[in-house]
Amino acid sequence: MAKQFKKPDLNAARFREKSIHVLNMNLYKKFKKKFLEYDITYQEFKNIIKTYNNQLADAIIENRDGVELPEGLGYIFIGSCPQLTKRVNIDYKKSSQYGVITTHRNWNSDNKVMKIFFTNSQVKYKLKNKQIWSFVATREFKRKASKNFTDDWNKYIFINNNRKISMLFKENINKINKGYERNQKVSDNYNEFDL
């Protein structure tokens, strides 16, 4: 027998976590102080950063292996994961409509879940305190990635729950390098200093 669903009180008090916005007037003032040659307004400054972030998000969605962040800060990619059976993923809309607990089953993606991964374990240069770096995707990016995932979920790398991301990156980078070395056939007469 199905469990009864207790409808949530929509007028009850809610806890809202205090959010810290990095893109603010202080950052703009620091930018103006450091780069005097750029004469842009605060709104133009925000638009440039948002445009870049949207292009980065599109590149992450399009490229199966993800994107390396500038300045060697790390890698971001989208992975396909099995749904955890420990946690129940309740569909609140259908549950309140039918009065019984209804869960999301992800039938459109063969019971797989999309996750956005950030790692800085295999970067070219060592970062100080790299374990405290994290990545939080914007709502816009999450929605765009989720929509694309439901359409083409089989395109993305499958990640097991007990697999370390750093090991996965190490294996993929080694495969890419070996393939690159195999495809490089340099003739004996080649001299890179000849014009």
More confident of the two residues 124 and 10? 10
Asked if 82 contacts 111 with a C-beta cutoff of 8 angstroms, the reply is yes
pTM to 2 decimals? 0.70
Residue 22 has pLDDT above 60, yes or no: yes
pLDDT of 27 reads 92
**Which range, of 2-6, 77-81, 145-149, averages the lowest pLDDT?**
2-6
* Burial letters 73-86, b for 16+ CB under 10 A, else e: bbbbbbbbbebeee
At position 141, the amino acid (one-letter code) is F
pLDDT in tens, 35-84: 989 999 999 999 999 999 999 999 999 988 888 888 878 888 898 888 77
